[in-house]
Structures are given as structure tokens and as C-alpha cells.
Amino acid sequence: MILLIGLAALAVHSHAQSVITLTPSPNPPPGASRPGNHNFPSLAFEKSSFYAYAGNSTHPNLFSQALIDILQSKDHYNASQAAAVVKPHPPDPNGGLWGYSIGPSYFDALANFNSSKYIWMLPMAHAAGLHMGAEALTQAKLALRNIGSKLQLLELGNEPNLYHEQGMHGAQYDVARYLSEALQHEADIEGNVTAVKRVKYQALAYDSGVSHAVWNEEKAFGAGINRNARIGSVSWHYYQSVSSGGVTLRKTLMNHTATVTKLSRFIPNIRHLYNRNANLDFVLGEVGSVIGPELKWDV
Ligand SMILES: *[C@@H]1O[C@H](CO)[C@@H](O)[C@H](O)[C@H]1NC(C)=O
Ligand SMILES: *[C@@H]1O[C@H](CO)[C@@H](O)[C@H](O)[C@H]1NC(C)=O
Ligand SMILES: *[C@@H]1O[C@H](CO)[C@@H](O)[C@H](O)[C@H]1NC(C)=O
Ligand SMILES: *[C@@H]1O[C@H](CO)[C@@H](O)[C@H](O)[C@H]1NC(C)=O
Ligand SMILES: *[C@@H]1O[C@H](CO)[C@@H](O)[C@H](O)[C@H]1NC(C)=O
């Protein structure tokens, strides 16, 4: 009985909250961005948990499948659209994310989201010279076999600006080295995986804290990342804050000034891409409010 009263009170309370209406001005302020395309929702899974979210070949995770179907059926269908797809314009080494070993059957899971498109990342941190490492190539082949025609793009490395400081490449690792490696990886995929001829790539994937003065689109494109006209999009990662940095809701996560300041760093890169007029998409490919295991909810 007490429980029922409690539930009723809760229902009334949340109903009262749900009638807040927002009335944005019909006239966008000067300098507002062009409208974003909302047709391409996506979810990210850590490599360490993807298999659990997906399930295996005999026991697919039905909850995940239903969730993705709902997201897609709400946002993705446009009966008058001719193109198949219209793209939108911590780990702490001790934190439990690293050190996993996966076997070939892992890749069966990729077949379980059969209505989704995939961007598959080609890991470059352990490249063999400029070439793809043998493990990276093996995994890419297995993945692409299961992804099949659902492949959207191949991503060239993950947060390459961090390779040097994470001890995975020599001190000389810079934009020029990333470019040479990325172009060699494109060639290695072309040479080894006949099924993905003329695939497009997602470049950069720079980390959230990267120095935009050193690692930016002007430098990467100026030096020839799109030399083969194979880049389809450019990805950046964005975290609003790092948990070790005294994060609070008021100061950091729900602070409009802080959000605007941090996101504004991308404007020159967005403008550069737009001015190239090459139909390249800008993607915030990894986004989170806070990175790091602990957050003090000190409002
Ligand atoms: C798939 O997962 C289920 C449940 O965990 C398990 O019983 C089954 O043996 C697995 N099948 C394969 C082929 O690994
Ligand atoms: C649906 O596609 C048509 C044709 O490309 C386009 O004109 C229209 O803006 C699209 N609608 C939405 C909601 O994206
Ligand atoms: C996708 O998989 C579900 C079961 O997991 C199946 O019912 C459906 O027919 C499949 N759809 C396609 C297009 O293969
Ligand atoms: C296939 O990939 C390997 C490893 O990255 C590379 O050394 C080799 O040159 C590639 N083969 C072709 C034909 O491109
Ligand atoms: C919000 O962020 C700005 C810029 O980082 C900072 O100056 C300001 O003190 C913050 N506001 C609060 C209430 O902490």
C-alpha cells in the first residue's frame, strides 16, 4: 500500500515535470550553424564489452538488437531519399579496458546488427613499420567478412597523436609519419582484401586533448591525407572534461560557457573542411561528458 502511494506520487511528480515547454526563436541568431542532419544515430561500444552487447551466433543479445532497431526506425527512415545512406554533416591501463584476448568467433557478433552500417577501425598503434601489423590485418579480414556490404568506412587508426606518449611509436611520431602510415594502410587493405576495393576512409580520429595547433585538418590535408581521394570523413574525439580535473556539474558539465569554449575549438576545422568543398563529413566520433573512472557529484 505504501509502495503504491509512493509510485502514484512519483508519477504525478514526473508528469508535472514533463510539461515544460521550450520555445526557441524561429529566427536563428547570426552566426548560428547550418542545421545538423539527424538521420544517423550511432552507438559506441568499448571493444572489451562489444561481444557482451552483441551476443554470439546462437544467442544474439535481443535487447541490444531491439534498442538499435528502435533508434533506427525512429530516425533513419526517409521514404523520399534516393541515397541508401545520408551521412550527417580511460582507458587507464589499470582500469580494466586493456589486455583482452579475442578469438575468431568474436567477429561473428558483427553479423548480429544486420540493419546497421559499420565503420571499422584499422589499428595503427602497433603497425609494422608503415605497414599494417599482421594481427591488425587478420582481424580486419575477419571483421570485413562478417560486415560484408554493411561497411560504411574504414577508420585510419585511433588517436594517433597519442601513440608517441603511450610508448607505442618512436619519438619521431608526427603528422607526417601518421600520413605515411595511413596511406600505406590504405594500400595494404587494397592489396589484401579484394572485397573492399574503392572503400572510403575516416581519417584523423584525434584525441580530445590534442593540440589543435599541431594536429589539425589544414596540416593533414595540406600534406596529402586525401591524396588518393579516398577520405570520406574526418573524425575528432570530444570529452567535456577529465575526471581528475575537479569536475562538478555546476562548474563543468552543465556550464554553458565551458561547453561553448571547448566546442569552439572545432570551428576552424569544420570551416576548413567546408571550404575544401569536397563533400567530406565532420564527425565527432567519440563523445563523452567525462573520461576517467571517478566523478565526484559535487554540485
Ligand atoms: C553462445 O552463448 C551462449 C550463452 O552464453 C552459450 O551457451 C553458447 O554455447 C554460445 N555459443 C557459441 C557458439 O559460442
Ligand atoms: C528526405 O529526402 C528528401 C530527398 O533527398 C529531402 O529533400 C528531405 O529533406 C529529406 N527529409 C528529411 C527529414 O531529411
Ligand atoms: C536480421 O536478423 C533478425 C534476427 O536476428 C532476422 O529476424 C531478420 O530477418 C534479419 N534481417 C535481415 C535484413 O537480414
Ligand atoms: C598485405 O599486407 C601486408 C601487411 O601489412 C603488406 O606487407 C603487404 O604488402 C600487403 N600485400 C599487398 C599485395 O598489398
Ligand atoms: C563556467 O565555466 C567558466 C569557463 O570555464 C568559468 O569561468 C566559470 O567560473 C564557470 N561557472 C561556474 C559557476 O563554475
Q: Is a pLDDT exceeding 90 seen at residue 187?
A: yes
The pLDDT, as a whole number, for residue 92 is 35
Cα dihedral 101, 105, 107, 112, rounded to 10, equals: -130
Lowest mean pLDDT among 88-97, 146-155, 174-183, 195-204: 88-97
According to the CATH classification, is domain 117-299 in 3.20.20.80? Answer: yes
Q: Is a pLDDT exceeding 90 seen at residue 279?
A: no
The pLDDT, as a whole number, for residue 99 is 52
Q: How is residue 252 annotated by DSSP?
A: I
- Ligand 1 atom, smallest distance to 57 CA: 13
- The structure's pTM equals 0.71
Band (pLDDT 50/70/90 cuts) for residue 85 is very low
**Ligand 2 center from residue 69 Cα (angstroms):** 21
**Ligand 5 center from residue 254 Cα (angstroms):** 10
Give the binding-site residues of ligand 4, using a 6 Å CB cut-off: 131-132, 137, 187-188, 191-192
Enumerate residues 6+ apart whose C-beta is below 8 A from 130: 180, 181, 184
Q: Is a pLDDT exceeding 80 seen at residue 89?
A: no
Band (pLDDT 50/70/90 cuts) for residue 70 is low
The pLDDT, as a whole number, for residue 277 is 80
- Ligand 4 atom, smallest distance to 190 CA: 14
Strands of the sheet with 281-288, listed across from one edge? 118-122, 151-156, 201-206, 231-239, 281-288
